[in-house]
Chain A
Amino acid sequence: MNKSGQMGLGAVIAATVRRELLLAFRSPGDVINPVMFFIIAVTLFPLGGGTDSAFLGSIASGVIWVTALLAIMFSMDSLFRADFEDGSLEQLLMSPQPLYFLLLAKVFSHWLVACLPIIILAPVFATMLAMPEAGILPLVLGLIVGTPILCLLGAIGMALTVGLSRSGLLLAVLILPLYIPVLVFGTGMVEAAQGSLPYTGLLALLGAMLVLAICLSPLAIGAALRISVN
């Protein structure tokens, strides 16, 4: 038998992130789909809702947040599906390494792949929708803090429904109620900034939610996955 050295937790996390990014790179469809959905949905709004820039500017933050939220929700399906089907999930659950950090690494990679492009595109589309300039910074800050929460919560729902063949609607019913506070605070930040009010309080609330989600949701994801592979 071979002599084997131990691997530190940091290396384990890095290897997991590396694998997930490699998988995303190999099957770019999973990466492009949510971003394309975001782009298409946002560009359709001016076509369907009129080109009055005052009107568009007033709904811009809502449009961007809602489409980003839906794009992230649709993207969740790829998080555990392949691993569930090929048995890698069983190996993951049987790993002697702390499941908490392995799952956090998976969700973080998913955020990098599915959410980061949306965050980068958001200011461009906000300008296109004639959003007042004061709202753009809080929009981006809100997305940076808010989208990881959406990923973590979505991963709980996905972990619960990964064993079902058609989980789309059930996933939506399960996690949309949990998404609402993030949406309310996120769009609230933009509105406050446009009314020349401070928005740091709302940002701090989102930040608190993110900390809570990072601390607790991997535990829920792990428990849900154990139920799903049962």
Chain B
Amino acid sequence: MLEVKDLYCERDDRVLFEHLSFTLSAGQVLQLQGSNGSGKTTLLRILCGLNQDFSGNILWQGQAMSAVAAEFRDQIFFLGHAPAINKTLSPTENLRWFCASRGVNQISGIPAALAEFGLKGYEDVPCYMMSAGQQRRVSLARMKLLQTGLWILDEPFTALDRKGVKELETDLARYVSSGGSLLLTTHHPLELDCPVDVIDLDQRALEKAVS
């Protein structure tokens, strides 16, 4: 589905990665590893089309990303560092607009999605009154509302409690086994019921330094 060829990116005169190539197919999990500042978030943002400072080719379904940007956006769900939750709005209002901005008529599914993330009873509480973990859950509940083939998650486990982490891992495994592709960064040791491929950005930097 997603094919990255010879990607090169530098930031502030520092090469983050070069000659980076990988493919991500349906039902595959790819975990990006690396220390802080190794370029994990930058790589995810490049793949999402939010960062244009790179060279190399990114192909989606065999076609250049820039040519199929609209189809690509329709097929991905991106969870970034920022929760993308407006704190003055309630979870329901946040998700309603999220659905609308994606062009998905899914308003009836919102209560169920929130309940699945343990937010039953918080549907109409303004988000600023909720804890960081609960806001994270609102953010995560969005993935239940879309039918996208690729999830790009940047540190999805941040601020979640232990039970929340377990549940999210189960959800991710279920998503992958139903044919979805998953690309994520996390410092948390993943325990998924499916094979996980790893790209270690630190390791790549080390190899480069040796050679």
A1-9, A52-60, A149-157 - the one binding chain B:
A1-9
Q: Is A97 an interface residue (CB 8 A)?
A: yes
Are the CB atoms of B89 and A23 closer together than 8 Å? yes
Q: Is A201 an interface residue (CB 8 A)?
A: no
Shortest distance in angstroms between B102's beta carbon and chain A's nearest beta carbon? Answer: 6
Chain B 60-72 interface 0/1 with A at a Cβ cutoff of 8 Å (1 = within): 0000000000110
Chain A residues with a Cβ under 8 A of chain B: 1-2, 4-7, 9, 11-12, 15-16, 18-19, 22-23, 26-27, 82-83, 85-88, 90-97, 102, 226, 229-230
Find A86's partner among B48, B74, B82 (CB 8 Å cutoff).
B82
The 3 closest A-B pairs by CB, nearest first: A87-B82, A15-B100, A96-B74
Are the CB atoms of B146 and A4 closer together than 8 Å? yes
Find B97's partner among A1, A19, A26, A230 (CB 8 Å cutoff).
A19
Instruction: Give the residue name and chain of the A residue nearest to B126 (CB).
Output: A26
Of the four ranges (under 10, 10 to 19, 20 to 34, 35 or more), the interface on chain B belongs to 35 or more
Are the CB atoms of A96 and B80 closer together than 8 Å? no
Are the CB atoms of B52 and A226 closer together than 8 Å? yes
Instruction: Give the residue name and chain of the B residue nearest to A87 (CB).
Output: B82
**Interface residue ranges of B6-42 to A (CB < 8 Å):** none
Q: Is B182 an interface residue (CB 8 A)?
A: no
Q: Is B96 an interface residue (CB 8 A)?
A: yes
Give Cα distance in the complex from A43 to B38, angstroms.
57
Are the CB atoms of A94 and B49 closer together than 8 Å? yes
B103-111, B162-170, B192-200, B202-210 - the one binding chain A:
B103-111
Q: Is B55 an interface residue (CB 8 A)?
A: no
Known: A4-B105, A5-B106. 18 other contacts (CB 8 A): A1-B144, A2-B147, A5-B104, A7-B103, A7-B105, A9-B103, A22-B89, A27-B88, A86-B84, A87-B80, A88-B86, A94-B76, A95-B73, A95-B101, A96-B71, A96-B74, A96-B102, A230-B50
Chain B residues closer than 8 Å to A4, beta-carbon distance: 104-106, 109, 145-147
Find A23's partner among B50, B76, B88, B178 (CB 8 Å cutoff).
B88
Are the CB atoms of A86 and B80 closer together than 8 Å? no
Are the CB atoms of A22 and B93 closer together than 8 Å? yes
Instruction: Give the residue name and chain of the A residue nearest to B93 (CB).
Output: A22
A-B contact pairs, 15 of them (CB 8 A): A4-B109, A7-B105, A15-B96, A22-B89, A23-B88, A27-B88, A86-B82, A87-B80, A88-B86, A93-B50, A95-B73, A95-B101, A226-B52, A229-B50, A230-B52
Are the CB atoms of A86 and B86 closer together than 8 Å? yes
Q: Is B85 an interface residue (CB 8 A)?
A: yes
Are the CB atoms of A87 and B84 closer together than 8 Å? yes
Are the CB atoms of A16 and B50 closer together than 8 Å? no
Shortest distance in angstroms between B163's beta carbon and chain A's nearest beta carbon? Answer: 23
